[in-house]
Amino acid sequence: MSLSYVDILNLPERSLLQKKLTKAFFLKNFDLSATEKKVLNSTIVQMEWLASLKPSNCNVPSVINDLVTYEEVQIMICNVGNEKVDEVATNCFQLFQKHIPYNMLVIVENDTEFKLNVCEKRINQNDKTKRTIENQYTSGTISKLYKTELSDAFLTTLDFSKLDKTNLEMLYRGYCNAIVQFNSASVTGVFQARNSARTQDDLVMLNQIEDLERDISKLTNQLKAEKQQNQRVTLNIAIHQKRKQIEDIKIKLSQI
């Protein structure tokens, strides 16, 4: 199903490129691992360089210093054909974000769903032409076939007209914050736009939930294998406590 990212993002017309990005671009310009070549050749069907936001075409100032450079924000689309987005998106995001030094909003899609990804990158102090990924934010999967209040609210916050245009760094952080809040909304059931400080707090809590869920999974596997009744009781108590911790964090996430 076709979906207009141009309409969703509401980008300035002068920033639109809508150019096909060839696989040869990656093969000629970057030293790809065997795994990355497999992703490029077997998983990715088509790539599009949708837009390039820079001061000259969107009237948003750049930010350049010794640690970061926000001269341009690139928006890329990666189509994976019949592959399930959840199964292949991470490797596709990695290919783009690792090798292309710009700050990018990357969209991985198939005909029925898509995910978005952004990264905070720092200038590599040993090689100024390279970037080090510090933080990465990936949205939950969004259906193209049906709308939900949460996905609609999330996509609305990506509208260029609603982003902070103090400079390109703040604009890009707007994409980062929106993705974190969408992931938070998938836990709380309510999408709430937050400031940057609160968004970072929410991110910490989301990571805590992920850690607790991993712990519960491990404890559950131990419980299935455990034969001694006293140990089963101990494991059940530990699982219950961690589930209670998750519920407490969800309450904090829901608070305004």
Average pLDDT over residues 206-223: 89
**Residues 188 and 123 both lie in one domain:** yes
The model carries a pTM of 0.84
Residue 86's Cβ-side half-sphere holds a number of Cα atoms within 13 Å equal to 5
pLDDT digits (tens, 9 = 90+) for 2-55: 579 999 999 999 999 999 999 999 999 999 999 999 999 999 999 999 999 999
Residue finishing a domain among 157, 176, 193: 193
**Residues 204 and 100 both lie in one domain:** no
pLDDT digits (tens, 9 = 90+) for 160-194: 999 999 999 999 999 999 999 999 988 888 887 77
- Identity of the highest mean pLDDT range in 76-85, 230-239, 240-249: 76-85
**Residues 15 and 112 both lie in one domain:** yes
Name the β-bridge partners of 118. 105, 137
**Residues 10 and 112 both lie in one domain:** yes
- Dihedral in degrees, nearest 10, Cα atoms 160, 161, 164, 167: 70
pLDDT digits (tens, 9 = 90+) for 123-132: 888 777 778 8
Q: For all residues of the chain together, what is the average pLDDT? A: 91
pLDDT at 253: 82
Domain that holds residue 227: 200-254
**Residues 61 and 76 both lie in one domain:** yes
Q: Greater confidence, 205 or 99?
A: 99
The whole-angstrom separation of Cα 34 and Cα 122 is 26
pLDDT at 2: 57
**Residues 231 and 172 both lie in one domain:** no
Phi, psi at 225, each rounded to 5°? -90, -15
Residue 156 has pLDDT above 90, yes or no: yes
Residue finishing a domain among 168, 193, 218: 193
| Cβ neighbour number for residue 122 with a 10 Å cutoff | 15
**Residues 144 and 19 both lie in one domain:** yes
Number of domains in the chain: 2
**Residues 69 and 189 both lie in one domain:** yes
**Residues 38 and 117 both lie in one domain:** yes
The whole-angstrom separation of Cα 85 and Cα 111 is 10
pLDDT at 187: 85
